[in-house]
Copies of this chain bind each other. A is one copy, B any other.
Amino acid sequence: MHIIDISIPITPDMTVYKDQPDKKPVFKTTRSIEAGDRARETDICLNTHTGTHIDAKSHFLKDGEGISHFPLHHFIGKCRVIDLTSVKEKISENDIRDKEINEGDIILFKTANSLRTKPGFNFDFIYVDKTAAGFLAGKKIKTVGIDSLGIERAQPENETHKTLLSNNIAIIEGLNLAETEEGEYFLCCPPLSLGNLDASPARAVLIKDM
């Protein structure tokens, strides 16, 4: 069994959405062996949309449910990584119409985002446009993942988020697929048990040869 970590490490100086300073995680030591305590403990404070994370319906839908509404099989099960590294600017329906995408699938898009080496937030990240979102909704997939901190930009009405979430499709953002080839895997990416919150950070891994 081979486990591939496709998560972004969570650190106080990690890249955050639009490089906004108030989105940086804060770690605060509360117990320290060096200071004479018997053990070490830390308080962590972070935005629900930090690093590798899952959007709940309530993130963008007025009456949408929180993160624990999605059954866990949206995040644990067979998945397919689709290589779209040749796509420029955005993923449209035309880019995915001929790919193997079926009802109930968990689909992860590997794009040029995963190949970027420049530090800091990429304001020109490859995104999923509304035509692709509509196509995925029509296919009735379960989950879509992408290798950028957002799945959408340049669409003022946020049609991609709204189309996916209102069609019961969970969105995983902030994957790192640099070391992952196109193919079939078993995904393990459960959200924290955060009830009605709008998102959850998650550790995402792919398993090969189970």
With A5-B193, A52-B193, A193-B203 as known contacts, state yes or no: A39 contacts B72, CB within 8 Å.
Answer: no
Residue of chain B at shortest CB distance from A63: B33
Which residues from chain B contact A9 at a C-beta distance below 8 Å?
68, 193-195
The CA of A38 and the CA of B11, in the complex, are separated in Å by 27
Residues of chain A in range 1-32 having any CB-CB distance to chain B below 8 Å: 1, 3, 5, 7-11, 22, 27, 30
Give the residue name and chain of the B residue nearest to A198 (CB): B40
Could you say which of A43-51, A88-96, A127-135, A138-146 contacts chain B? A43-51
Stretch at the interface among A79-87, A98-106, A111-119, A184-192: A184-192
How far, in whole Å, are A193 and B49 apart by their CA atoms in the complex? 14
Which one of A192, A199, A201 has the greatest number of beta carbons of chain B within 10 Å?
A192
Q: How many residues of A contact B (CB 8 A)?
A: 54
A: residues with CB less than 8 A from B are 1, 3, 5, 7-11, 22, 27, 30, 33, 38-49, 51-52, 58-60, 62, 68, 71-73, 76-77, 158, 161, 188, 190-195, 197-199, 201-203, 205, 207, 210
Q: Considering only CB atoms, which chain B residue lies closest to A17 in the complex?
A: B41
What are 13 A-B residue pairs whose CB atoms fall within 8 Å in the complex? A1-B77, A5-B72, A9-B193, A42-B48, A42-B198, A44-B47, A44-B194, A45-B45, A76-B205, A190-B190, A190-B203, A202-B203, A210-B210
